[in-house]
Every structure is written in structure tokens, then in C-alpha cells.
Structure 1
Amino acid sequence: MKKGEIYTGTVEKMDFPNKGILHIGEEKVVVKNALPGQTVEIAISKQRKGRCEGRLLKVVTPAAYENTEGACPHRADCGGCTYQTVPYEEQLKIKEQQVRALLDPVLPAGYNFEGIKGSPLTKAYRNKMEFSFGDEFKDGPMTLGMHKRGSFYDIVTVDQCVLVHPDCCKILRATLDYFTEHGAVFYKKMAHVGYLRHLLVRRGVKTGEILVDLVTSTQTEGTWKSDKNKEALLEGWKEKLLGLDLEGSFAGILHTENDSLADVVQNDRTVILYGQDFFMEELLGLKFKITPFSFFQTNSLGAEVLYETAREYIGETDGRKVFDLYSGTGTIAQILAPAAEHVTGVEIIEEAVEAAKVNAAQNGLTNCDFIAGDVLKVLDTLEERPDLIVLDPPRDGIHPKALPKIIDHYGCEKMIYISCKPTSLARDLVVLQAKGYEVTRVCCVDMFPGTTQVETVCLLSKLNTKQHIEINLDMDELDLTDAEKKATYQEIKNYVLEHSGLKVSSLYIAQVKQKCGIIERENYNKPKSEDAKQPQCPPDKEKAIKEALTHFGMI
């Protein structure tokens, strides 16, 4: 096979998260976003080291189980969902099979896998959406929505998105119409020119409270055609939203300025245009204050299923001390607190920690403490010894240095691991088992209907005998995605160029990696003499490189 050649084949299965597997002759080909049972036309895009990848051109014949009735009208172009035409029961089967395919090679035969629990809502379940301004094709009319499938730049307007409440779609359409009418221009990522960047919409599923945040640059000169000044332009937008006929009600309408070169939502400065800068949501009888940038599970009702499952796995907590590591805004900690002696949450994002403290206070919980800091470092300062540890790490799993420290330092009888990425979970379970833990219960919880993502809950118990399980694992079996491997210098350069429009040298990358504690080969970019002067990485490029390192899970 050669790059660019076109073939037709039938997808046999789908590996996590969205990798369709088919064979052309004897050769295995991986095609993203192709569903099991579909006959597809593909173009070969990569051929290296015995691994062949194809790009989906079109679906020749749908799978027998597919059903387009009620599916999102944007599904053909939007990159947000993959399973829109898949009946929900079939979605659950696919996700369960994918998780088992990753866990089976690393766990003993016959381990206790308890299946998958579905989401109470399969549509209009998301309490948060982050929409981007842009255009669907170069120099086309302004759009507001999600990235086009397979594109970093093209944006598809999704004013009929089925993942959010209709209120959110009305707000999106009203915002796009208003700024189009006033000739406002969107921010162009490569040129770093323009005004409109993102629209954040959050809506409480339980409370119906709505929080909207318009994110723009500070560029106001010539970035809209009407004669309104910035304040009048934003005032008109606010009044447009307040005039909408919505089922819910506005808790706040905000304006955030963000001049970051990267295509990320960053809060440089936020002004309240109406109401307040937070809304309230409820989970399992507790109330949570959520700001535009707070981490909070995007599926409120699904989160209740997830946390109820974790609470069931944990069992009795009376008189027990609990550590909630990677605690976010403290939802799990506060759900466990009423029956525990004391709960300590550790989270690296300071804003999330402050929100956790506020939420605990308003819920009347006095036995919770929340600490801001890196888990790897904070563990060295904690004198209290927990009876139980809850692990709910970010997508890339637990830091490889933190995991042994958690195990060796505390040696808890029980640990709960909640994972949003089963490839990372499978990797970490190898270490946990080697350190004397066994997986006694595993369950999946679908928090993201219509998409490829799934949560997994594991109960780990410390073995009380001197026996151990020996596991031989070929890491290739896990089929890790590129973002989970150590990124090459070229991959880092490509990422920085795509997201920041900056070109960076290998020397600059090496300097930033050194600052972040990433060890390089001794002679990498070493000066020819001790007194030789080397150019130093400028601050803007250092920031862009750090964003790339974060994306690739290296820091």
C-alpha cells in the first residue's frame, strides 16, 4: 500500500476511542471515526513500521444497526460526536467491549467486570459547552459552534446540537446573529487578529440556571463595523440574550478578555454584564457553585450515577479518613464527607480548590480540607494517614512518580480509581498490581452518550498474603494514542505552529523541557565551549511550548 491510494473495506471493530479496524487483503488499517459494520472508502494517509492508517472518505454502506432518526443534523460535519447514528444500547456494547479489550490483557482471567451503566439522559445532558467563532471555509461567513471533523481551523455552526438543552442553542443562534449584524470579526488564530473568540454556555440540569461568558480579545480597533463602542456593543448583546424566550433563567452574563496566542479559553479579565459570575447545580442532595472555568462533570445526572457507583464500591466510611487525590471542585470528597471522619482533597488548580472550600461551607461540611498543589509534592507534606484513597486523575492518568509514592507511603487497604481514559487506567493498573493490589470490582459508566468517551470505576484491595500475580504485558497491546507517548521534537514544533502560529527551535524546546524537570540526553544542544553563549527562549515561545508539553502529557 502507498500513501494516497484509495480502497474500500468493511470495519470489523472499533478500538478506543474512535479507531475503526479493517483489513485490506492481509494488511490491517486503522481509520478514525469508522463504525463497526460500515463499508467505507478510505485513502491511505500513513504507512510506517508495519502500521497503516487511512482517512475516511465516505461511508459506502451503513452498518445494519445504524438509525438516523433523531440524530443530530450537524453529524456529517461536526467533530463532536461519532455515535449519533448508533442506537444507545449498541453504543454501550461498543464502549464495554473497548474497555474490556484494554483491561483483559493486564488483569487476571475471570476478574470481576460488572458491565456498563448508561446515562439517565442520552440527549440534552451536557451542562457545559464551549463554542468557537470562526468560518466553515476560508473567507466564508462567520460561524459559531464546533470544529469541523478533522480540522483545526474550520468551525461548523451547531445551533441544533442534541447534546445540550435547547436554551443553549437559542443563545448560540442569538449571539451569532447579533455579532454578524454588527459586522464583528472573529479572532484568526494564525494571524492573531480579530475580536470574537469563544462562547461558554453552562446550564444546570437540576436548577435550570444559565451562565454565559463571551470570550474576546482586547482588539477593539476596526474589529466591528457598527458605530457602537465596546460597552454599547456588549450591552446590546446582553439585552438580546435577556429578551430570549428560554425555559431556564440567566444567573449571569459575562465578558472575558483573552489575549493568549494559543487557541484555549484563558481568563485574563472578566466583567459581569448581568447577574453574577456563577450558577448553582445539585448532585446527590448537595449544592455546588460553578464558575465559567470551574471543573465540574459535564453530565450532572450521569455524575450522580458515577459517584453513587464509587460510593457503593467504597462501602462503609464511618470513622474513616479519606484522601481524594485530584479532587477538582471537591464533588467526590463532599459526597463522602457526611459519613467519614475526615476527608482531604488535593488539587493542582487553585481556583478549583477555592470553589471546593466554598461548596463545602455552603453544604455545612466541616470535616473537609482542600489543599492546592501538585499531588506528587503535597504527599510529602501530609502527616495524616488515610484509610481509603480516591484517585480521579486527569485524562493522562497518574504521574508515574506519584503512583509509587501513593502506594508505598500509605499502603491503604482500599483504593478507588475513577478513570476517564481506559488506556491510562490499564497502564496504571499494571503498576498497582505489581505493588500488591488486586482489582476486585470494575464497572463502566457512560457519561457521554453519542461520543466515544467512557468512565471506568475500579475498586482495588491490598493483598493480605505473600502471594502475587505475575503479569507479562506487551505495551503495544494497549495501542496508546500519540498524545500518551513521549512527543518528538517535531511533534512539539508542529503543535506550537498549529495552535500559536509560532516557529520554535529544538534548542528552545530543550531549554523549556529542562525548566520543567524533563531530563534530556547529556549532550543534547550542549554548547561547544563552556563560555559559548546560547540564545534563550523568549517568554511567548516558552509559554507556547509549555502548552504543547501539557497537551502531550509530559508536564
Structure 2
Amino acid sequence: MKKGQIFEGMVEEVNFPNKGIVKIDARQVTVKNTIPGQKVSFMVNKIRKGKAEGRLLDTLEKSPVELEQVSCPHFGSCGGCNYQSLPYEEQLKLKAEQVLNLLESVVPNVNELFEGIKASPQQFGYRNKMEFTFGDEYKDGPLSAGMHKRNSFYDIVTVDQCQIVDEDYRKILSCTLEFFQKSGAAFYHRLRHTGYLRHLLVRKAVKTGEILIDLVTTTQYDKMSSCQPEEIRDILQRKKETSATKETTESEDTMQSGAELLNSSDAESEAVILSSWKEALLGLSLSGTITGILHTKNDSVADAVKNEGTDLLYGRDYIVEELLGLKFKISTFSFFQTNSLGAEVLYETAREYIGDTLNEKAGKIVFDLYSGTGTIAQMLAPAARNVIGVEIVEEAVEAAKENAALNQLNNCEFIAGDVLKVLDTIVEKPDFIVLDPPREGIHPKALEKIIRYGVDQMIYISCKPTSLQRDLEVLLARGYEVKRVCCVDMFPGTVHVETIALLQKSKPDTYVKLSLDMEDYYRIMNTEGDAKIE
């Protein structure tokens, strides 16, 4: 087997995260974006330390478990939903098997402990946030807005019929795309570092129906100012004619330079076009209610949404969502679980696992590490004396404090900083620890500090099973055992899955009681002394 060779084969299994296994002449090749039972063709693109990887070229035969027709018209071209061709029951089965296979190598008797996978309450239209990217579907093609094309870093597929969001998202995306196509606006080109349009962020609260919209652009509006729609040009021309009738002085002290006039014109033009875009959005017939429209500037070369200044074009800069009776203010850049109804299943499961632990003894202190906007901390607050949340993102900590006040919880404390460093500054010792780390899991040094607290029980909520597998191996080696574990599907149609594990400090199976009188003690000590002299 050599790099560049093309093979055909059957996908025997798919490991997390979406790594299909194909055997060619008894040699195992990993091919991503496949389904068990498919016959595929692939090109070998990497061979390292005896392991081979292939790039999927084509699906020659569908898997027997795949659907005849997929509900989303963008499936296959969009890189967002790899498992949408599977019936939902098969998706759940596949995800549960993947997690179980990972945990079998580190958790004794995991097959007996594993409680399966809990489904998302909604298979479609479940997301409360979407981040659409502006670009083109092919080189020099028309403006598009949506998701990255599968296996492509640059091409963007317009997903105006996306099925994991509701109709309001699709209307907002279509309206925005049509508006800026007419305006002649250029998208930000990541290689040339030129262009205006970058991202469109949309958030919608499932329980309240509130909608927040944020257009993310560069400050390079001058690059599109010559391509304004006719109505925008008419407005600006009338303003210029009005301005020209006013008396002006020739004094250099009061005369604007040509550059200043140009910049003023660009800023005025941008304000007019953003106002027109806002009015187009407010004219849409939606099931929810637009409570805020924003414009964020981002000149970073990184392909990520960064806030380098945000202007409020309409309403307010947040929405309110409700989870399990609590209210949460969510801004554009707040971290919040993207499936609100699924999050309720996740947190209900966490509360079930914790059970009566916090009520067994009054006055317990809970550490919520990697606490985000404090969702879990606030759900545990009524049963604890004090909950301390630690989160590295300062904006999330501020949101957590606001949300705790909104929910009238006065026993929650939130600290901004790296868990590794913050733990050294906290005087209190926890009785219970909740771990909800980012995808990469817990830093080894931070995990060591967590273990040294020696709490009887912990909850570990993981969004990446391979990270959970690695961290559990350390925790089990240091005296903890898994008592319960299950999965929650927060992302139907995709390869992602959440896992919750309840850990308990191991206790000896038996105790041996010894009695020793002082005469025996001195005899033993004298014997040891004689042995040392010899």
C-alpha cells in the first residue's frame, strides 16, 4: 500500500469521531465521513507508523441501514450533518456504541454500568444558535451564506433549507443574503484579507421565541461603497445635495481634507445600508420576535467570530431563554448549550445522578469547574450552601453573575480564570465537584489538583468521548470508580454526543481490626533495633 493509491472496500465499523474502518488485504485503513455498511472508494493520503488513512472519493453503495431519501436538500454538499442519512434510532445506536467502545478499555464492567443514550426531544429544528459564513460556493461565484462545503476550507454552501434550525433562521438567512447580493457587497477573502461580509449570527430562544441577529463584518466598507443599490445611492445623493447648499468657509482650519470627506461618506453610506438591512429584517413574518439586531466589527485574520466592537442597530443585545424553571440572559457571544430542550435532558440527568447527595448533609459546598454561564451551578444552588463556579472566559462569568441575580440566587459565586490557577486561590474545600470541561478535556495538572481534594463524588459531563476516556483513566488509577454513565444526544444528525459519568471515591472492600498491647509493642521495637545493629 502506497500514498496516492485508490482502493474500494466495505466500511466495517465507525469509531468516534466518524472514523470509518476499511480493511484492504488485512490492513486497516481509516476513512472519515462514512457509515457502517457502505461500500466506498478512497485514496490513501497518509501512512504513518503502520497506520493508513484514506480520503473518501465516492460512496459506491449505500449502507443497508441508510434512508432512501434524506430530508435536508443540502446533505452531502454541506459538511455539517454526517449522520442525517441514518434513521434517528440508528444514529443513537451508533453513537452509544462508539462511546461504549471507548470506555471499555478503561472502565471495568462498563457494559453493566452503561445506561444507554437519551434522545434529543427534537430531531430537527433543535438549534438555538447558528453561525453562517459568507463566501462563494465556487471560485468567483455569486455571494453565498451558510456552511462550509464538506472537505473544503474555502467553499461555502448556502443552506437556506437547513433542517436543524427552524423556519425563522431560514427566512433571516435568505433575506440577508438577497439584500447583500443586491448591494454588491464582497465577502471577506481569507487569503487576500480583503472584503466586507464575514458572518451572520442568529440566536433564538426556544421557550420565549426571542431572536438576536448579529452581522459580523470587517471595517473595509470602502471596498464595496461603489456598488451600492440604487435606493442607497439616491439617499446619499440627496444628503450630498443638501450639504452642498450650506455655506462653507475656505479656511484650512475648518475645511475637511479629501480623505476625511471620503471616510465620512463611507461611514454614512455604511450606516444607511445597515439601516436598510435592519428594516428588511423587521419586515419579515416570523414565528418568533426579533428583540435585537447588531453589527460587530472583526478585522482579525483568523477564521473565527471575534468581537472588536459591536453597535446596536435595534432593540437590545441579548435574549432570554428558560431552562428547568430558571432564566438565562444570552448575548451574541455567550456560551450556551445549542439545543435548549436537549440541555434540559442533560441537566435533568445530572441532577438525577447527583440525587440526594447534596441533601444528605446540610451545608455542602459545590465546585462547578468550567462553569460557562453558570447553568449547572444555578440548578444545584437550591440544594447547596454555596456553589463556586470557575470559568476562563470573563464574558461568560459576567453573564453567570447576571443570571444568578436574575434567578434570585445569592449562594453562587463565579470566578474568572484558568481552573489550574484559580484552584490555588480558593480557601473553601468542596464536598462535591461538577466537571464540564471544553472539548480537549481537563489539563493534567488541573486534574491532579482536583483529585487531591478527595471528594467522595464527582460528575463529569463530556462533549468529547475521547477526552473523557483519557481523563477517566487517570481518575480510576487514583482511586475513583464509575458508578453510572450514559449519553445524551444533543446534536441529532451530527457525529457529536454528550456523556455523563458519576464517579465515586473507592472504599476498601474489607477492614482488618488489630489489637496490640504495650508489651508486644516494645518487644517488636526491640527486635527491630537488634536487627538494625546486626
Tell me how far apart the structure 1 counterparts of residues 198 and 485 of structure 2 sit (CA, whole Å): 41
Tell me the SS of whatever aligns to 2:367.
strand
Judge which range, 18-27 or 233-242, deviates more: 18-27
The answer to whether structure 1 residue 112 and structure 2 residue 152 are counterparts is: no
Question: Cα distance, 1:4 vs. partner?
Answer: 2.1
Tell me the SS of whatever aligns to 2:171.
helix
8 Å contact kept, 2:218–2:299: yes
Which of 264, 285, 298 is 2:338 aligned to? 298
Letter of the aligned partner of 2:17 in structure 1? P
- Residue of structure 2 in register with 1:176 after alignment: 177
Which of 480, 495, 503 is 1:460 aligned to? 503
8 Å contact kept, 2:373–2:399: yes
The answer to whether structure 1 residue 131 and structure 2 residue 137 are counterparts is: no
- Residue of structure 1 in register with 2:249 after alignment: none
- Residue of structure 2 in register with 1:421 after alignment: 464
Question: Cα distance, 1:3 vs. partner?
Answer: 2.0
The answer to whether structure 1 residue 260 and structure 2 residue 261 are counterparts is: no
Which of 373, 384, 392 is 1:340 aligned to? 384
The answer to whether structure 1 residue 397 and structure 2 residue 398 are counterparts is: no
Question: Cα distance, 1:385 vs. partner?
Answer: 1.1
- Residue of structure 2 in register with 1:407 after alignment: 451
Tell me how far apart the structure 2 counterparts of residues 185 and 431 of structure 1 sit (CA, whole Å): 50
Letter of the aligned partner of 2:319 in structure 1? F
Tell me the SS of whatever aligns to 2:329.
strand
Alignment of 1:288-437 (within 5 A): 288-316=328-356, 317-318=358-359, 319=362, 320-408=364-452, 410-437=453-480
Judge which range, 98-107 or 227-236, deviates more: 227-236
Tell me how far apart the structure 2 counterparts of residues 371 and 140 of structure 1 sit (CA, whole Å): 48
- Residue of structure 1 in register with 2:195 after alignment: 194
Aligned length: 466
8 Å contact kept, 2:196–2:223: no
Tell me how far apart the structure 2 counterparts of residues 160 and 207 of structure 1 sit (CA, whole Å): 23
8 Å contact kept, 2:481–2:506: yes
Tell me how far apart the structure 2 counterparts of residues 395 and 251 of structure 1 sit (CA, whole Å): 31
8 Å contact kept, 2:212–2:293: yes
Tell me the SS of whatever aligns to 1:298.
coil
Alignment of 1:242-257 (within 5 A): 242-257=282-297
- Residue of structure 2 in register with 1:60 after alignment: 60
Tell me the SS of whatever aligns to 2:132.
strand
Question: Cα distance, 1:222 vs. partner?
Answer: 2.5
Judge which range, 171-180 or 336-345, deviates more: 336-345
Letter of the aligned partner of 2:221 in structure 1? T
Deviations 1:454-503 (A, max 9, x none): 00000000012289xxxxxxxxxxxxxxxxxxxxxxxxxxxxxxxxxxxx
Alignment of 1:11-160 (within 5 A): 11-110=11-110, 111-160=112-161
Tell me how far apart the structure 2 counterparts of residues 400 and 77 of structure 1 sit (CA, whole Å): 39
Tell me how far apart the structure 1 counterparts of residues 503 and 214 of structure 2 sit (CA, whole Å): 41
Tell me how far apart the structure 2 counterparts of residues 42 and 374 of structure 1 sit (CA, whole Å): 43
Tell me the SS of whatever aligns to 1:401.
helix
Question: Cα distance, 1:286 vs. partner?
Answer: 0.4
Tell me how far apart the structure 2 counterparts of residues 152 and 374 of structure 1 sit (CA, whole Å): 31
Which of 258, 264, 280 is 1:240 aligned to? 280
Tell me how far apart the structure 2 counterparts of residues 345 and 154 of structure 1 sit (CA, whole Å): 40
Alignment of 1:465-476 (within 5 A): 465=508
Tell me how far apart the structure 2 counterparts of residues 223 and 47 of structure 1 sit (CA, whole Å): 46
Deviations 1:363-410 (A, max 9, x none): 1111111011110111001111111000000000001110011111x1
Tell me how far apart the structure 2 counterparts of residues 306 and 204 of structure 1 sit (CA, whole Å): 17
Letter of the aligned partner of 1:426 in structure 2? Q
Question: Cα distance, 1:220 vs. partner?
Answer: 1.3
- Residue of structure 2 in register with 1:486 after alignment: none
TM-score by length of 2: 0.86
The answer to whether structure 1 residue 445 and structure 2 residue 488 are counterparts is: yes
Tell me the SS of whatever aligns to 2:133.
strand
Radius of gyration: which is bigger?
Answer: 2
Tell me the SS of whatever aligns to 2:441.
coil
Question: Cα distance, 1:71 vs. partner?
Answer: 2.1
Tell me how far apart the structure 2 counterparts of residues 68 and 371 of structure 1 sit (CA, whole Å): 51
Question: Cα distance, 1:7 vs. partner?
Answer: 1.5
Tell me how far apart the structure 2 counterparts of residues 419 and 61 of structure 1 sit (CA, whole Å): 34
Deviations 1:296-332 (A, max 9, x none): 0000000000000001111122322111000000000
Tell me how far apart the structure 2 counterparts of residues 49 and 374 of structure 1 sit (CA, whole Å): 36
Question: Cα distance, 1:146 vs. partner?
Answer: 0.3
Tell me how far apart the structure 2 counterparts of residues 466 and 434 of structure 1 sit (CA, whole Å): 17
Letter of the aligned partner of 1:284 in structure 2? L
- Residue of structure 2 in register with 1:165 after alignment: 166
8 Å contact kept, 2:77–2:149: yes
Tell me how far apart the structure 2 counterparts of residues 193 and 85 of structure 1 sit (CA, whole Å): 38
TM-score by length of 1: 0.83
Judge which range, 220-229 or 281-290, deviates more: 220-229
Judge which range, 84-93 or 224-233, deviates more: 224-233
Tell me how far apart the structure 2 counterparts of residues 155 and 396 of structure 1 sit (CA, whole Å): 27
Deviations 1:137-158 (A, max 9, x none): 1111111000011111111000
Question: Cα distance, 1:70 vs. partner?
Answer: 4.8
Tell me how far apart the structure 1 counterparts of residues 94 and 425 of structure 2 sit (CA, whole Å): 43
The answer to whether structure 1 residue 283 and structure 2 residue 323 are counterparts is: yes
Deviations 1:53-91 (A, max 9, x none): 111111111111111445211011101010111000000
Tell me the SS of whatever aligns to 1:441.
strand
- Residue of structure 1 in register with 2:212 after alignment: 211
